[in-house]
Amino acid sequence: MECPDCGCRMKIERTYLEIEGDDSPSLETKVYSVQELCCRNPKCIRYGRMVQQVRHRIDRQEEVSG
């Protein structure tokens, strides 16, 4: 994935798991792997900031829409 400002390939700054619904038995528990992408170009205004967050649901095979 490229930075929308400078077009450089972004790096993954951090990856973590996000869990929804695990505190309520009436809700379906959903597990996401979240990646935060940062621009690696020091001349870019977005350098060092989180540019984009990518979420993939990992408790199922299907992709997250939206």
Distance, CA of 54 to CA of 34 (rounded, Å)? 6
Task: Restricting to residues 6-65, name those near Zn ion by CB under 5 A.
Answer: 6, 39, 41, 44, 46
Distance, CA of 16 to CA of 36 (rounded, Å)? 9
Binds Zn ion by CB under 5 A, chosen from 2, 5, 18, 20: 5
- Size, binding site for Zn ion by CB under 5 A: 7
Residue type, 15: T
DSSP code of 9? B
**Least distance in Å: CB of 8 to Zn ion?**
5
Q: Which residues bind Zn ion (CB under 5 A)?
A: 3, 5-6, 39, 41, 44, 46
